[in-house]
Structure 1
Amino acid sequence: MASSFYSNAQHVDFESVLGMDDHGMVSMFEALMASGLRGFLGCPAVVYEDALVDFFEKASVRSGVIISTVGGQFVEISEELFAESFELPIDGLGDLSEMPKDAIFYARSIVSLSGEPISLSGRKNQMKMSFLLLCDIVAKAISVKAGSFKAITVEKFSLMTAVVCRIKMNWAKFLFGILKKMVTSGSKQAKGFAVQISLLLATFPSLELGESSEFPASKVLTKKTVLRFVSINVRDGAEEVAGAAKTKAVSKKRPAADVEAAVPKRKRTVKKKSVSSISSLELVEVAEEAIPVRVDAQLANLWRVGFIDSCTNDLYI
């Protein structure tokens, strides 16, 4: 079923979301537009399901070009056609490994909910709500990853950095590279770009694409679906905080056996008096005698002012 190609997808209705009252959300979507991704993320949301299934079943990469057959007709998609169809930038970074480290460090503070740089090995709930949504967009609509979307990854955050810090990206090269992975045999890349591929196939006049179907409204970001996203994440965040507090409270309770084990028992020593009767034994506490320590005066002075070398602090006892 073609629906499996967009089960985790995201698409954007820019006209709708740019009319929101939420300044943070609007600024985030404006940054996506400034990055040159409006044509890719906001193209007409139509899917040709039969043609899409046919395309993926027979697609492969030859000499850097994607070829396939749809309805018995030959299809060839080049990076140039891909870039032109979605008006994608062709200048800038083409690989995320080229992302400036200082930009990533700067972005870690910009997106942070607390103001402290977020951890790139943590969960995305460290981020402000608008950047939580951006994290979803880059994961589902750009890098097309399957599985859990709650964790931050270096790849996702590098993509976010490109948007947040307005880093020039060769989005044509990067996105076309992902599409090539989708059709490469043995690749772990999840399949996606259902709307974009449908639009590309529609540019071939000889193809019989069959009936089109609308992209699921729940996967298109509008005022309504963004507000729903916010509501769900606020609720989940509250539940997570409550769960963490409950776990912490439970962990403070210590079993009786552990408490007893933690209390040190006072040791007593038996000392025998110089008497013949064993019944005259008496319990007394034994204290260690203090051992006088002689320290050279000059060494003691160096110790006091803090210049003693830890490797040569010999004490004479």
Structure 2
Amino acid sequence: MASSLINRSHHIDFDFVFRFDDAEIVQMFESLITTGLKEFLGCPAIFHENDLTEFFANGSVRDGLVVSTIGGIAVEISESVFAATFGLPTEGLTDLLEVPRNLLSEAQSLFSVSEKEVSISCLKKEIKMQYRLLSDILAKSLFVKAGSFDAVTRDRFLLMTAITFDVKFNWGNLLFGVLKEMVTPDSRQAKGYAIQICVLLKNIPGLELGESKAFPAPRILNEKTVHRIVSVNENVGLEEVGEAPRAKKTPVKKTMSKKRQAAGEAEVAPVIKKKRSTKGKPVAARRISLDKQVEDATEDEEDTVEGTVDKVSHVPVQVAPIMDDVDMIIGQVISESAGLSANKTGGSTSKVVGEIVAPAASSKKRAEEHM
């Protein structure tokens, strides 16, 4: 709980900030003293974590007072006690809108980092370094704002104007109003004022505070930390950074899994057909089978020839015309037999021809005898 109350707060060590070598920043701190905020911003940097946690857990606002209980002891804080403890001015403006308009116009030119006037609501990069630092102090230590600090709000700009031109302001009323918002249940106001509340609790009669802790050194503004903050703020919103080209993205090569790649290669690669190997019969067996087929074909041809010859032999015997028909039939049979028996040996062909010629000769002899 306590860490959330101090993680954005600033405590100013006025004995050391004036050692900073920037005259404009030193002058800004001097204006805080002139305004009457030295005791509030530079009070002892000690806080009591457990007591502070209990104060906010039981805190509320009643009859304009901030009330709570710590260890069974009632705590009441009024606006007058609050202002007197830190020497805060109680006279002056109570409304930010009452800041003179002529001063506001001068601030718009004075705060600007360029020759152009800045808006009342602007970015920190648009104002000078000392006013960037002043804006952070107001946001973290007085208004206790949560969130981003890159922008300067209208209310903060008005307060910066009042501090810079030493406008009398009722700081007691303004800061006590912030404290009341802190202890109001369901309030959107962030909690803070850790070291200031502990200073107030020490003045409560009969209240004994527990173990104390020192405020974190990085949260204390002195010569060293101010130099670090300035270095960081110098890089806020620089045009060179904002206009820097984006780094090119490294192209990502799409890779396929080995399994998918193998499948692709299988599709592209030519398919090699394997020669079918059949188990055939031995050479001797195939030769015997071939001879058998030739022999069967020869027998069929012989039967055909013999049938043709028999038909010729039964033709009625006639004179010369018969002889012409016989010769024609013999020539036709010889021609057809030669085409069918091309694969036969020479001896087989001669045998067939001889068998055909012999009957034909005998038929011719018988015809001559009748004549």
Q: TM-score range by the shorter chain?
A: 0.7 to 0.9
**What are structure 1's unaligned runs of at least 5 residues?**
251-317
TM-superposed CA distance for 1:165, in Å, is: 1.2
Q: Which has the higher helix share?
A: 2
Distance in 2, matches of 1:22 and 1:128, equals 13
**CA deviation vs aligned residue, 1:31-79 (integer Å, no higher than 9, x gap):** 0100000010001111111111010011111111111101111010001
Aligned counterpart, 2:41? 41
**Cα distance per residue 1:253-279 (max 9 Å; x no partner):** xxxxxxxxxxxxxxxxxxxxxxxxxxx
The answer to whether the 8 A contact 2:10-2:141 is kept is yes
- For the pair 1:242 / 2:244, whether they are aligned, the reply is no
- Give me the identity figure in percent: 49
> Offset of 1:133 from its aligned partner?
0.3
Query: What does residue range 95-244 of structure 1 map to in structure 2 within 5 Å?
Result: 95-238=95-238, 240-244=239-243
Q: Is the 8 A contact 2:109 2:116 kept in 1?
A: yes
Q: Which runs of 5+ in 2 are unaligned?
A: 249-371
**Which one-letter code corresponds to 1:94 in the other structure?**
T
- Measured in 2, the distance between the counterparts of 1:193 and 1:139 equals 12
For 2:226 and 2:23, the matched residues in 1 are separated by 13
CA drift of 1:191 comes to: 0.5
SS of 1:182's equivalent?
A: helix
Task: Report how far residue 225 of structure 1 moved.
Answer: 0.3
3-state secondary structure, aligned to 1:125: helix
**SS of residue matched to 2:147:** coil
CA contact (8 A) 2:52 2:198 kept: yes
Aligned to 1:29: 29
Task: Write the letter of the residue equivalent to 1:40.
Answer: F
**Structure number with larger C-alpha Rg:** 2
- Which stretch shows the higher mean deviation, 173-182 or 157-166? 157-166
TM-score, length-scaled by structure 2: 0.64
Q: CA separation in 1, counterparts of 2:111 and 2:176?
A: 28
1:71 and 2:71 aligned = yes
2:13 alignment partner in structure 1: 13
Residue 105 of structure 1 deviates from its aligned partner by 1.7
Count how many residue pairs are aligned between Structure 1 and Structure 2: 248
- AA partner of residue 34 (structure 2): A
Q: Please tell me the root mean square deviation across aligned C-alpha atoms, in Å.
A: 1.7
Counterparts of 2:37 and 2:115, CA distance in 1: 28
Residue 241 of structure 2 aligns with an amino acid whose one-letter code is A
Verify the 8 A CA contact 2:47 2:214 in the aligned structure 1: yes
Q: Which residue of 2 aligns with 1:54?
A: 54
Alpha-carbon separation, structure 1, partners of 2:193 and 2:115 = 34
Alpha-carbon displacement from aligned partner over 1:152-209 (angstroms, at most 9, x marks no partner):
1101111111111111100000000000011112221110100100110011241121
Q: Give the aligned partner of residue 303 of structure 1.
A: none
Q: Indicate the SS of the match to 2:234.
A: helix
Range with bigger deviation, 92-101 or 63-72: 92-101
TM-score by length of 1: 0.75
| 1:231-310 matched pairs, under 5 angstroms | 231-238=231-238, 240-246=239-245
**Which residue pairs with 1:277 in the alignment?**
none
AA aligned opposite 1:243: G
Amino acid of the residue matched to residue 224 of structure 1? Answer: K
